[in-house]
């Protein structure tokens, strides 16, 4: 029996260069490698990668993608355990069918879920019915074929049970929180940073595009906000919001010098609404891990999945609306804020060391061992 994980890469046919896969996925790969898993590169030799992302080109790449997976994984044997981050690039029914056939041959597939589109669009009448059915089939094939699934949290596990059945729920475990690895020098700087005043400002980090994060342009006036990320449309923004720019993921923690990090989404500051906002009820946003790894207590929507972790660990506050932030921060005395920050530092160590995924992988492997004949 071997322990393996897939490392997906794109090969640009005109240069041979590989593209980046994103901070969250890179961290998962690093943690699995450090835990004794061997990497299997699935190189996406998709044609015309450099020509754009039209629907026709996307379809063409998806058709080629299944062949790339077959080429990379053909040496796996029955009993091997293979961790795959989901969704895969160029995901399609063809890729899901191939991986399901691999599972029938005895390869034990475990999914580390970053996102399931079914959660967002399966009941969205604005999406074409054919697309919704195709997506449920594509994702359902692999969820049924795999032997284990690592979901974000218990609420995501419950939603998966509603959509895909008891079998999917029973073979899943909860991650709890995404990890956020940092270079040693940055981690030391974060650990040595003195505790800030509770009034230094609330950090918002992420894509600031108005269409996705409309709440950024409706922020309350009684709290200072520090904004980080691309696509900021600052023209009519509030005077209490300061834009700080864009930084690389490993560098960003050095610049987050506020008092709290905000976890919010959707078009309005009143509540987390719309497809992006409602997804917070089952989703663990990676920005939460960024804040906690950086030593910042967090402010989170009270109905978000992460609210339970925040409350239990004492690492932040929950609000129903952004208008509550000013009063809730004002109600914190210095001793309470210091205690909250110390709680964050303990949690941050686990996040920076990959502790959440290591725990989930350990539970998953124990679960698989118990199922062995």
Enumerate the β-bridge partners of residue 5.
Answer: 39, 83
Per-residue model confidence (pLDDT) at position 19: 45
| Domain range 184-352, its CATH number among 3.40.190.170, 1.10.15.40, 3.40.50.2000, 3.40.50.1370 | 3.40.50.2000
Q: Where in the chain is the domain with CATH 3.40.50.2000?
A: 3-179+355-371, 184-352
Per-residue model confidence (pLDDT) at position 169: 96
Of 187, 216, 198, nearest in space to 317 by CA:
198
Per-residue model confidence (pLDDT) at position 151: 98
Asked if the 3-179+355-371 domain carries CATH number 3.40.50.2000, the reply is yes
Of 201, 200, 204, nearest in space to 269 by CA:
204
Regarding pTM above 0.95, the answer is no
Sheet of 81-86: strands edge to edge?
Answer: 38-44, 3-10, 81-86, 108-113, 148-151, 172-174
Which stretches within the chain are classed as H helix?
23-34, 55-73, 93-104, 117-121, 129-145, 154-164, 166-170, 184-192, 274-279, 286-293, 307-313, 325-330, 334-352, 355-371
Residues of the chain with pLDDT under 70: 10-21, 45-64, 121-128, 130-132, 235-237, 373
Per-residue model confidence (pLDDT) at position 181: 98
């Amino acid at each position: 029996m071997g322990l393996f994980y897939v490392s997906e890469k794109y090969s640009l046919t005109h240069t041979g260069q590989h593209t980046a896969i994103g901070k969250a996925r890179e961290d998962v790969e690093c943690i699995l490698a450090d835990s004794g898993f061997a990497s299997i590169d699935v190189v996406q030799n998709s044609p015309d990668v450099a020509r754009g992302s039209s629907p026709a080109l996307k379809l063409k790449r998806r058709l080629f993608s299944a062949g790339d997976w077959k080429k990379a994984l053909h040496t796996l044997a029955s009993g091997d355990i293979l961790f795959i981050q989901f969704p895969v690039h160029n995901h399609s029914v063809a890729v899901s069918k191939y991986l399901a056939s691999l599972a029938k041959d005895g390869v034990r597939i475990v999914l580390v879920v970053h996102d399931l589109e079914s959660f967002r669009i399966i009941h969205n009448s604005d999406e074409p019915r054919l697309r919704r059915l195709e997506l449920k089939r594509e994702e359902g094939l692999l969820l049924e074929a795999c032997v284990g699934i690592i979901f974000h949290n218990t609420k995501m596990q419950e939603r998966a049970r509603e959509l895909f059945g008891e079998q999917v729920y029973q073979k899943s475990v909860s991650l709890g929180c995404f990890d956020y690895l940092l270079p040693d020098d940055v981690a030391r700087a974060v650990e040595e940073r003195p505790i800030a005043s509770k009034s230094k400002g609330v950090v918002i980090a992420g894509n600031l595009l108005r269409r996705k994060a409309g709440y950024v342009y409706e922020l309350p006036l009684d709290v200072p906000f520090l904004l980080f990320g691309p696509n900021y449309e600052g023209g009519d923004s509030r005077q209490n919001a300061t834009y700080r720019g864009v930084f690389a993921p490993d560098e960003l923690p050095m610049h987050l010098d506020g008092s709290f990090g905000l976890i919010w989404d959707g078009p309005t500051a009143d509540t987390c609404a719309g497809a992006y906002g409602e997804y917070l009820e089952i989703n663990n946003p990676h920005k939460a891990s960024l804040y906690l790894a950086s030593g910042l207590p967090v402010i989170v929507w009270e109905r978000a999945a992460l609210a339970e972790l925040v409350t239990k660990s004492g690492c932040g506050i929950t609000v129903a609306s952004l208008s509550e932030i000013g009063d809730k921060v004002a109600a914190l005395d210095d001793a309470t804020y210091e205690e909250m920050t110390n709680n964050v530092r303990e949690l941050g160590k686990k996040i920076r060391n990959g502790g959440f995924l290591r725990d989930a992988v350990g539970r998953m492997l124990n679960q698989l061992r118990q199922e062995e004949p």
